[in-house]
Amino acid sequence: MPLANYFRKMNEIKPPTFRLSTSLCETCYLFQLDYQPKPSDMFNETYPFFTGLSQNMREHFGFMVDTILSINPINHESFVVELGCNDGTALSFVRNRGVPHLGIDPSENVLRLAENNGININLGFFTTELAHEIVKMHGRASHVFAANVICHIPDLKDLAKGIEYLLQESGIFVFEEPYLVDMLAQVSYDQIYDEHVFIFSLASVKEVFSKYGLFLFDAEHQETHGGSMRYFLSKNRERPMSSRLQALMDAENEVGIKDRGGYIDFIDKCLSNRNDLVDLLTKLKKQGKSVAGYAATSKSTTILNFCKIGPDLIQRIYDSTPEKAGCVTPGSNIPIHSQDELRLNPPDYLVLFAWNHKTEIMTKEKKALPQDQKWILFVPKVEILNES
């Protein structure tokens, strides 16, 4: 598989590739990649993901910050740190309240946007070493949070030790990520790519982080990214576990994420999903229909390469990120165009690669595209929307 976010011009160097395979740890139940490319190959000054591009996500992060700050209310000792702050979308809600804060991110291009937005920043990967430097410079943190970031960090032990060191005794660590149970249930295997080293569950988060002095006391399911879980951890092991967490853990146990059978079933469903998608696109090609993709997501790299879909089946992909226009998709070489071009010349069918933003996209595009625009969805199953 190529690196999922390696969007480059056609004649530039080929994307680096790596072996994409996964395992489940039978001790801590952590679902994980077996191999990962070097983090500096993935997160650098060309990282093409900008949190603030989605209106829904901006609103979501506003509510997330409200929740985090309501658990440990702000006082004169408050200091809020975000790991992987990207363009500063979430931290801007902390800044607006005048609370001391720091955003850490290894990708310089996105971090500069945060800085221009009045966010205090620190360029780099979060490590225990960096945690020591931050404590020296700013003191300990009352709140550490991260959204769609912790699953990107391969050295979980060092990360957990660093967070534990950084936090005040009453401090909390809150993070959210795509949830393993949702991925298995929806066959959203496109969540598996180089940057997602782990797909977490309640069981794995509880087990792994408690070894390093961070104790899960609450969790809240989120609709974002096709089903995510927000985890609340405390340095204080006496903090009581919420009844909401207990109910979620009971539900997770019932699904059987600890059993091999569920994963074998998932593999079978991934293979049939691939067959259904390729069969449909091949049929449309034979009928002479034009087919384009909507959103050149990181996730689409897994779909396109796993299904071996190239420009013969999907002629182009429209994306709202200016940096991606004029590039091709990694490994599958499908040209990427700006979304303004889509509105000028819509294809017969649009494959929705950003299926996790379906509501936002459908609402927005209803006004801009023909009333009878046909969409192809592949999560949870391959289907056509608007086909008469």
Residue 189 binding ligand TYD, by CB under 6 A: no
User: Which listed residue (299, 316, 337, 374) binds ligand TYD by CB under 6 A?
Assistant: 299
For ligand TYD, which is the closer residue by CB, 50 or 165? 50
Strands (E), 183-224: 198-199, 215-222
Q: Which range in 74-82, 90-98, 135-143, 319-327 contacts ligand TYD by CB under 6 A?
A: 319-327
Residue 224 binding ligand TYD, by CB under 6 A: no
Q: Which two tokens stand for residue 375?
A: 């969409």
Residue 320 binding ligand TYD, by CB under 6 A: yes
**Per-residue mark of binding to ligand TYD, 323-352 (x: CB under 6 A):** -x--------------x-------------
Strands (E), the chain: 22-24, 31-33, 80-83, 101-105, 121-123, 141-147, 167-178, 198-199, 215-222, 228-234, 291-294, 316-319, 336-338, 349-352, 374-377, 383-385
Residue 295 binding ligand TYD, by CB under 6 A: yes
CB of 153 to ligand TYD, least distance (A): 16
Q: Which two tokens stand for residue 280?
A: 């449909």
Residue 302 binding ligand TYD, by CB under 6 A: no
Looking at residues 23 to 62 of the shown chain, list those that interact with ligand TYD (rule: CB under 6 A).
49, 53-54
For ligand TYD, which is the closer residue by CB, 55 or 275? 55
Q: Which residue is nearest to ligand TYD (CB)?
A: 297
Residue 297 binding ligand TYD, by CB under 6 A: yes
Residues in the interface with ligand TYD (CB under 6 A) total 18
Residue 360 binding ligand TYD, by CB under 6 A: yes
User: Which listed residue (319, 347, 373, 376) binds ligand TYD by CB under 6 A?
Assistant: 319
User: Which listed residue (89, 329, 356, 373) binds ligand TYD by CB under 6 A?
Assistant: 356
Q: Are strands 141-147 and 80-83 parallel, antiparallel or unpaired?
A: parallel
Residues 6+ apart with CB under 8 A from 351: 281, 291, 292, 293, 294, 314, 375, 376, 378
Q: Is 139 left (phi over 0), alpha (psi -120 to 50) or beta?
A: left
Q: Which two tokens stand for residue 238?
A: 């006496």
For ligand TYD, which is the closer residue by CB, 246 or 363? 363
CB of 336 to ligand TYD, least distance (A): 9
Q: Which two tokens stand for residue 323?
A: 């940096």
CB of 232 to ligand TYD, least distance (A): 23
For ligand TYD, which is the closer residue by CB, 199 or 248? 199
User: Which listed residue (140, 235, 357, 374) binds ligand TYD by CB under 6 A?
Assistant: 357
- Identity of residue 21: S
Residue 108 binding ligand TYD, by CB under 6 A: no
For 267-287, give one letter per residue: b (16+ CB within 10 A) or e: eebbeebbeebeebbeebeee
CB of 239 to ligand TYD, least distance (A): 32
CB of 375 to ligand TYD, least distance (A): 13
Asked if residue 380 has a cis previous peptide bond (ω within 30° of 0), the answer is yes
For ligand TYD, which is the closer residue by CB, 158 or 177? 177
Q: Are 75 and 168 in contact (CB under 8 A)?
A: no
Comparing C-alpha atoms, which of 146, 204, 263, 192 is closest to residue 35?
A: 192
For ligand TYD, which is the closer residue by CB, 54 or 122? 54
Q: Which range in 116-124, 164-172, 215-223, 313-321 contacts ligand TYD by CB under 6 A?
A: 313-321
Torsion of CA 50, 124, 13, 19, to 10 degrees: -90
User: Which listed residue (89, 107, 321, 332) binds ligand TYD by CB under 6 A?
Assistant: 321
Comparing C-alpha atoms, which of 207, 152, 141, 203 is closest to residue 174?
A: 141
CA 210 vs. chain centroid, Å, equals 24
Looking at residues 128 to 157 of the shown chain, list those that interact with ligand TYD (rule: CB under 6 A).
none
Q: Are 255 and 233 in contact (CB under 8 A)?
A: no
Looking at residues 254 to 293 of the shown chain, list those that interact with ligand TYD (rule: CB under 6 A).
none
Binding site for ligand TYD (CB under 6 A): 49, 53-54, 295-299, 319-321, 324, 339, 354, 356-357, 360-361
